[in-house]
Amino acid sequence: MDWCRYRFRSVWRLAAPPGAVYAVLERAEEYPRWWPQVREVVPRDERTGTARFRSLLPYELVVTAEVRREDPAAGVLEVVMSGDLDGWARWTLTALPGGGGTRAVHEQEVEVRSPLMRALAVPGRPLFRANHALMMRGGRRGLAAHLRASPPPV
Protein backbone atom coordinates (compact mmCIF):
# COMPACT_ATOMS: atom_id res chain seq x y z
CA MET A 1 0.00 0.00 0.00
CA ASP A 2 1.22 3.48 -0.87
CA TRP A 3 0.43 5.46 2.27
CA CYS A 4 0.63 8.75 0.35
CA ARG A 5 -2.18 7.88 -2.09
CA TYR A 6 -5.84 8.53 -1.34
CA ARG A 7 -9.14 7.76 -3.03
CA PHE A 8 -12.20 9.59 -1.80
CA ARG A 9 -15.85 9.38 -2.76
CA SER A 10 -18.67 11.50 -1.33
CA VAL A 11 -22.32 11.48 -2.34
CA TRP A 12 -24.45 14.53 -1.64
CA ARG A 13 -28.21 14.84 -2.06
CA LEU A 14 -29.14 18.44 -2.83
CA ALA A 15 -32.59 19.99 -3.12
CA ALA A 16 -31.90 21.82 -6.37
CA PRO A 17 -31.93 20.73 -10.02
CA PRO A 18 -28.65 19.50 -11.54
CA GLY A 19 -28.32 22.60 -13.74
CA ALA A 20 -28.43 24.90 -10.72
CA VAL A 21 -25.89 22.79 -8.84
CA TYR A 22 -23.61 22.66 -11.87
CA ALA A 23 -23.81 26.45 -12.25
CA VAL A 24 -22.49 26.87 -8.71
CA LEU A 25 -19.82 24.16 -8.91
CA GLU A 26 -18.36 25.44 -12.18
CA ARG A 27 -17.52 28.78 -10.50
CA ALA A 28 -14.62 27.53 -8.36
CA GLU A 29 -13.48 31.07 -7.57
CA GLU A 30 -16.70 31.45 -5.54
CA TYR A 31 -16.24 28.28 -3.43
CA PRO A 32 -14.87 30.26 -0.45
CA ARG A 33 -18.26 32.03 -0.21
CA TRP A 34 -20.07 28.82 0.69
CA TRP A 35 -17.39 26.19 1.50
CA PRO A 36 -15.70 27.22 4.76
CA GLN A 37 -12.65 25.00 4.31
CA VAL A 38 -11.83 26.44 0.89
CA ARG A 39 -9.98 29.55 2.00
CA GLU A 40 -9.11 31.04 -1.38
CA VAL A 41 -9.30 30.33 -5.09
CA VAL A 42 -7.27 32.56 -7.38
CA PRO A 43 -7.94 32.15 -11.11
CA ARG A 44 -4.85 32.14 -13.32
CA ASP A 45 -6.78 31.96 -16.59
CA GLU A 46 -10.10 30.57 -17.82
CA ARG A 47 -9.15 26.95 -17.10
CA THR A 48 -6.59 27.13 -14.28
CA GLY A 49 -6.52 28.43 -10.72
CA THR A 50 -4.78 28.03 -7.40
CA ALA A 51 -6.77 26.91 -4.35
CA ARG A 52 -5.87 27.10 -0.70
CA PHE A 53 -7.80 24.95 1.76
CA ARG A 54 -7.72 23.87 5.36
CA SER A 55 -10.08 21.76 7.41
CA LEU A 56 -9.80 20.97 11.13
CA LEU A 57 -6.11 20.11 11.26
CA PRO A 58 -3.86 23.18 11.56
CA TYR A 59 -2.37 22.61 8.14
CA GLU A 60 -3.08 24.30 4.84
CA LEU A 61 -2.84 22.70 1.40
CA VAL A 62 -2.26 24.59 -1.84
CA VAL A 63 -3.00 23.11 -5.25
CA THR A 64 -3.16 24.32 -8.80
CA ALA A 65 -6.21 22.94 -10.57
CA GLU A 66 -6.79 22.84 -14.31
CA VAL A 67 -10.11 21.97 -15.90
CA ARG A 68 -9.86 18.66 -17.72
CA ARG A 69 -13.56 18.15 -18.47
CA GLU A 70 -16.45 20.58 -18.38
CA ASP A 71 -19.66 18.95 -19.63
CA PRO A 72 -22.90 20.55 -18.44
CA ALA A 73 -25.07 18.17 -20.50
CA ALA A 74 -23.51 15.14 -18.79
CA GLY A 75 -23.27 16.93 -15.43
CA VAL A 76 -19.51 16.36 -15.19
CA LEU A 77 -16.80 18.71 -13.95
CA GLU A 78 -13.26 17.35 -13.63
CA VAL A 79 -9.93 18.93 -12.76
CA VAL A 80 -6.34 17.77 -12.55
CA MET A 81 -4.34 19.01 -9.57
CA SER A 82 -0.70 19.61 -8.77
CA GLY A 83 1.06 21.06 -5.77
CA ASP A 84 0.58 19.68 -2.27
CA LEU A 85 -1.72 17.11 -3.90
CA ASP A 86 -1.24 15.58 -7.35
CA GLY A 87 -4.15 13.85 -9.01
CA TRP A 88 -7.70 14.60 -10.06
CA ALA A 89 -11.15 15.43 -8.70
CA ARG A 90 -14.51 15.04 -10.42
CA TRP A 91 -18.13 16.02 -9.79
CA THR A 92 -20.85 13.96 -11.45
CA LEU A 93 -24.38 15.32 -11.13
CA THR A 94 -27.59 13.41 -11.84
CA ALA A 95 -31.23 14.24 -11.26
CA LEU A 96 -32.94 12.43 -8.42
CA PRO A 97 -36.12 10.57 -9.42
CA GLY A 98 -39.28 12.64 -9.59
CA GLY A 99 -37.46 15.96 -9.89
CA GLY A 100 -36.44 15.71 -6.25
CA GLY A 101 -33.11 17.44 -6.62
CA THR A 102 -29.60 16.32 -7.45
CA ARG A 103 -27.30 13.49 -6.56
CA ALA A 104 -23.79 14.97 -6.57
CA VAL A 105 -20.93 12.48 -6.51
CA HIS A 106 -17.47 13.83 -5.74
CA GLU A 107 -14.58 11.49 -6.52
CA GLN A 108 -10.94 12.21 -5.97
CA GLU A 109 -7.67 10.34 -6.42
CA VAL A 110 -4.56 12.10 -5.18
CA GLU A 111 -1.02 11.55 -4.08
CA VAL A 112 0.22 13.72 -1.24
CA ARG A 113 3.26 15.79 -2.17
CA SER A 114 3.36 17.99 0.92
CA PRO A 115 6.61 17.10 2.75
CA LEU A 116 4.97 17.19 6.20
CA MET A 117 2.05 14.99 5.17
CA ARG A 118 4.43 12.54 3.48
CA ALA A 119 6.54 12.36 6.64
CA LEU A 120 3.39 11.65 8.68
CA ALA A 121 1.83 9.34 6.08
CA VAL A 122 1.49 6.22 8.23
CA PRO A 123 0.55 7.61 11.66
CA GLY A 124 -1.39 10.54 10.20
CA ARG A 125 -3.50 8.65 7.65
CA PRO A 126 -6.59 8.21 9.87
CA LEU A 127 -6.45 11.90 10.82
CA PHE A 128 -6.01 12.99 7.21
CA ARG A 129 -9.02 10.89 6.14
CA ALA A 130 -11.14 12.29 8.99
CA ASN A 131 -10.00 15.80 8.12
CA HIS A 132 -11.11 15.27 4.52
CA ALA A 133 -14.49 13.91 5.66
CA LEU A 134 -15.04 17.03 7.79
CA MET A 135 -14.13 19.22 4.82
CA MET A 136 -16.63 17.42 2.62
CA ARG A 137 -19.34 17.69 5.28
CA GLY A 138 -18.69 21.43 5.46
CA GLY A 139 -18.91 21.67 1.67
CA ARG A 140 -22.22 19.79 1.52
CA ARG A 141 -23.77 21.96 4.22
CA GLY A 142 -22.43 25.15 2.67
CA LEU A 143 -23.60 24.27 -0.83
CA ALA A 144 -27.06 23.25 0.38
CA ALA A 145 -27.42 26.56 2.24
CA HIS A 146 -26.11 28.53 -0.72
CA LEU A 147 -28.59 26.86 -3.07
CA ARG A 148 -31.48 27.56 -0.66
CA ALA A 149 -30.45 31.22 -0.44
CA SER A 150 -30.06 31.57 -4.21
CA PRO A 151 -32.79 29.45 -5.79
CA PRO A 152 -32.58 29.03 -9.57
CA PRO A 153 -34.91 31.10 -11.73
CA VAL A 154 -38.13 29.36 -12.63
CA dihedral for 32, 107, 135, 68, sign (positive or negative):
negative
> Is the confidence at residue 154, as pLDDT, over 70?
no
Q: Are 19 and 148 in contact (CB under 8 A)?
A: no
Fold of domain 5-149? Alpha-D-Glucose-1,6-Bisphosphate; Chain A, domain 4 (3.30.530)
High-pLDDT (> 70) share of the chain, %: 97
In tens, the pLDDT along 100-110 reads: 899 999 999 99
Q: What is the pTM of this model?
A: 0.93
- Residue 31: C-alpha distances to residues 25, 71, 111, 114, 142 (Å): 8, 19, 23, 23, 9
Q: Where are the alpha helices (DSSP H) in 3-120?
A: 18-25, 31-34, 115-119
Give the residue-averaged pLDDT of 109-115. 96
In tens, the pLDDT along 21-67 reads: 999 999 999 999 999 999 999 999 999 999 999 999 999 999 999 99
For position 1, what pLDDT does the model report? 74
For position 151, what pLDDT does the model report? 65
For position 99, what pLDDT does the model report? 78
